[in-house]
Amino acid sequence: MSKARNLANLLADGAITADELDVGQIGGRRNLVINGAMQVAQRGTSFSGVTSSAYHLDRFQSIIGTLGTWTISQSSDAPAGFGSSLKWDCTTADASPAAGDVAYILYRAEGQDVQSLKKGTASAESVTLSFYVKSTKTGTFIVELTDIDNSRHIASTVSISSANTWEYKTVTFAGDTSGVLNNDNGESLLIAFWLNSGSNFTSGTLPTSWGAFSNANRNAGNTLALGASTADDFYITGVQLEVGTVATPFEHRSYGEELALCQRYYQRYSGAGYMGIPADLIAYNTASTEGVLPFKQTMRSSPTIAQSTLCLLDGVALNAVSSVSTVHNGTDSARIRFNSSSLTQYRPYYLAINNSTSAYLTLDAEL
C-alpha cells in the first residue's frame, strides 16, 4: 500500500488529523502563490538590458536599483516535473554596489488571499516557503516576508551549495501574533528573494523572528552577491507558500487556471490581424471612436489601459490609434475612447493590429 493511501486511511479513520500533521489544508488549494511554476509570461518571454524595476513573468516583479544590467527571461531550464523557470542573467556587472543599490525578486499578495495565516491573532499560523533554485554561484541569499499593513518583517538565509545544480529549498516562518492583515484587495504580504544589495540593506541584523520593519536588516548576511560578474545567472521555480511547518509537494495547476489567476492583475491583447474587440466601436466625431471592452477576467481593480501601434479599421482604410483614454472604467469592463484622425463620423470601426507583432492593448491592475 502506498504512503499516500496509508495517509488517506489514517485521516479517514480519524487516527491523525491535519492539525497533528501541521501541514495546513489537506484538500483544495494550498499554494498561496500564483504562477509559482513560472508558466505564464503575458508580457513576453525575454527582456534584455533591464536596469530598473518591472514585472516580467506574471506576478513576479524584478526590483532593480542601479545594480547591474540584466536579461530576465522565462527559461526552459527547470528541475524534473517543471517546464519553466525565471532566469536572471547578468550582462553588465556591478562588483561594488552603492549603499542604496538593490536586486531582488518580489511577489505581492492581496490581504484577502492570506487570511488563512491568522496573522495578528493568538492562533497565528506558521507558514512554509518552498522553491527550487539554481545559480552559477554558491553562497547565501535571503528570503524575506513583509507585512506591509503593519510594517513588520521576518527573514531567513538560504544557501546554494552546488553551482549549476537545481536544489530544493524550504524555509518555515513562525506565526506572528501582532498585526492583523487587511482583508481587502490591497497588497498585504510580500515575499522577497534578495540577490544582492548595497550596505543600506545589509548593515543590520537579519530579522529571524517577526519584528518592526528595518531596511538595514533586510539583506543582512547575503554572500551570494549576484551581479558581481557577467558570468552570474540565477534561476528559480516551484515557488510555494503554504500554511503549516511542512513543505508539501508543489501544487501544480493547469496553464489555463494559472493564466486566469494572473489575468486578475494583468491582461494583454497582442498578435497580428484583427483583435475582434471591442465590436461596437462607433466614431462619434472625426478624431475619436468609443466602445465597450469586456475583460477576460474580473480584475483586482479598475486597470490602467495602454496601447501601442494599434489601428482602427472601417473595411476600407487603417487609421493609427494615437492614444487611448477611458470614459468609464470598472473591474469587469471599460468603455474606451480610441483617438485617431480622419475618421468618418458615426461609422463603425474595428480594432486591428495591422500585422505588427509589437502592437498591443494592455490592462494593468497590479499591486
Total-model pTM: 0.92
Per-residue CA distances from 285 to 84, 319, 340, 342 (Å):
48, 14, 10, 9
So what's the pLDDT on residue 278? Answer: 57
Query: Which residue in this structure is represented by grid cell 508539501?
Result: 248
State residue 59 phi and psi, 5-degree precision: 75, -10
Is the separation of the CB atoms in 109 and 190 below 8 Å? yes
Neighbours of 238 (CB within 10 A): 25
User: How far is Cα 285 from Cα 355, in angstroms, rounded to an integer?
Assistant: 26
Q: Quick one: cell of 189?
A: 504580504
d(CA 99, CA 201): 8
**Mean pLDDT, 10 residues at a time, the chain of 367 residues:** 49 55 66 98 97 98 98 98 98 98 98 98 98 98 99 98 98 98 98 98 98 98 98 98 97 98 94 60 92 93 94 86 94 94 91 73 96
Instruction: Determine the residue type at 144.
Output: E
Instruction: Identify whether 207 is preceded by a cis peptide bond (ω within 30 of 0).
Output: no
Q: What is the pLDDT of residue 9?
A: 59
User: What pLDDT score was predicted for residue 17?
Assistant: 56
Confidence (pLDDT) at 3: 47
**211-229 b/e (C-beta count within 10 Å ≥ 16 → b):** eeeeeebbbbbbebbbbbe
CA–CA dist 181, 151 (Å, integer): 11
